Amino acid sequence: MMKLATEPKVETLGDYAYEAIQKHFKKTLKWEKSVKKDEDPEALHQMRVGMRRLRTAISRFDIALNLPKPVSDKNIGKIARRLGNLRDLDVLKETLETTYQPNLPDKEKKNLQKAFDALAKQRETVLEKTIETLKDESYKSLKHTLEEWLEKPSYQTLASLPIKQVLPDLLLPEVSAFLLHPGLLVGTHVVDSEVKVITDWKADKIEQQLATKGETIHNLRKQAKRVRYQMELFTELYGESYATYITEIKSIQDILGNIQDSVVMGEWLVEVFKSQLNEQLPTLAKLVAENRYQWWQQWQPLQQQYLTAENRHNVHLTILQPA
């Protein structure tokens, strides 16, 4: 008996949307109990990441889906922010304990205890708010309606298009927002229409830039994360160069994240110690500034790379040609 050759199934935008939402929703739920019990900082980290990735999937695929009202970018964003506030305090504590405390003289180690006490107190309040958020109606309703949608998904017409056909249109707006972000131009000057990164700045000049342009750099980091999360939804549909761009963008996100975290830590320590920070923790203040200087040096080659016309062009070409 002759077998009919079955055509391989064409994966649609709808298929991909469903898979991504289901995967990140499951991951978020997996850690919920542990977060409510406050058992492990890693659980909080994983749930926050799951929630952020779920948010990316929902906001990107929204154009192809009919999602219930509680499943909105705004609603998920609110919950993710609450988890984020708690996670930020855990990261601050971990950084002070592992990166800085071992390198301080005994007197400063003793003085630092004041910061840990303030941190513990603050964390109690934020933990309470986080647990409240996970018990309130908007979170329950998000979970319930999304579970229902996953059982009976509803799509718009666009969902039936082949994923490879629409991929570039999905990805390029976010990539362009990253490549055109003003944060990429901090610490540069233009010579004959070519952007050059200024590489001879001393530490005090970098500190000055961070004081005035810190928010712009922080927003660039957020945009890098959005691009990375979105690109990671489609890794298997592209080749090696695409994976390399994801790795580079993750490096940008991490380095700028380290700079931002150290700025936040500096501001937080000033709140705790007021004008006595440099007097009570001079070594710590010096180490924080030195690390920021190092991170700035690590950021500059990547910054230069993503400002060159050739690299920008290649990013676009890669996205236009799924494997």
Q: What confidence tier does 85 reach under pLDDT thresholds 50, 70, 90?
A: very high
Angstrom CA distances, 281 to 104, 203, 208, 272, stand at 9, 19, 21, 12
Tell me how far apart the alpha carbons of residues 261 and 42 are, in angstroms, rounded to a whole number: 18
Q: Are strands 188-191 and 194-197 parallel, antiparallel or unpaired?
A: antiparallel
Amino acid at site 11: E
Of the CA atoms within 13 Å of residue 216, those in its CB half-sphere come to 13
Percent of all residues in the chain with a pLDDT value above 70, rounded to a whole number: 97
> How far is residue 200's CA from residue 107's CA, in Å, rounded to a whole number?
35
User: Per-residue pLDDT tens for 14-64?
Assistant: 999 999 999 999 999 999 999 999 989 999 999 999 999 999 999 999 999
- 155 forms beta bridges with 65
- Contact indicator for 105, 262 with CB cutoff of 8 Å: no
Beta strands in the chain (DSSP E): 188-191, 194-197
Q: What percentage of residues in the chain have a pLDDT greater than 90?
A: 90
Count the residues in the chain: 323
For residue range 204-260, what is the model confidence (pLDDT) as tens digits? 999 999 999 999 999 999 999 999 999 999 999 999 999 999 999 999 999 999 999
| pLDDT tens digit sequence for 175-191 | 999 999 999 999 999 98
Q: Which of 176, 200, 180, 179 is nearest to 188 (CA)?
A: 200
* Residue 112, Cβ density class (10 Å: 0-12 exposed, 13-18 middle, ≥19 buried): buried
Question: CB count, 10 Å around CB of 61?
Answer: 22
Residue 5 has pLDDT above 60, yes or no: no
- In the predicted structure, residue 192 carries a pLDDT above the cut 90: no
CA distance 253 to 179: 14
> Quick check: 4 pLDDT over 90?
no
What is the spatial distance between Cα 164 and Cα 234, in angstroms, rounded to a whole number?
10
pLDDT at 288: 92
Tell me the average pLDDT across 90-119. 95
Residue given tokens 């691009």 in the structure block: 227
CA distances from 102 to 16, 108, 255, 278 (A): 47, 10, 22, 18
Residue 10: the pLDDT is 66
- Whether the predicted pLDDT of 129 surpasses 80: yes
Strand, helix or coil for residue 188: strand
Name the pTM for this structure.
Answer: 0.91
* pLDDT, mean over the chain: 93
Instruction: In whole angstroms, give the CA distance from residue 42 to residue 269.
Output: 24
pLDDT band at 7 (very low <50, low <70, confident <90, very high): low
The whole-number pLDDT of residue 275 equals: 84
Rounded to 5 degrees, φ, ψ at 145 are -70, -30
Task: Decide: 232 and 19 in contact? Cβ < 8 Å.
Answer: no
| pLDDT tens-digit series, residues 58-80 | 999 999 999 999 999 999 999 99
Taking Cα atoms as reference points, which of 268, 234, 230 lies closest to residue 250?
230
Q: Please state, in angstroms and rounded to a whole number, the distance separating the CA atoms of residues 262 and 50.
A: 24
DSSP string, 21-68: HHHHHHHHHHHHHHHHHT--HHHHHHHHHHHHHHHHHHHHHGGGB---
Question: Is pLDDT at 110 greater than 80 in this prediction?
Answer: yes
Higher pLDDT, 6 or 296: 296
Q: How far is CA 105 from the centre of its chain?
A: 34
Question: What is the band of 278 on the pLDDT scale with cuts at 50, 70, 90?
Answer: confident
Q: How far is CA 113 from the centre of its chain?
A: 30
Q: What is the pLDDT of residues 291-323, one digit of tens each?
A: 999 999 999 999 999 999 999 999 999 999 998
The pLDDT confidence band at residue 84, using thresholds 50, 70 and 90, is: very high
Identify the pLDDT of residue 194: 87
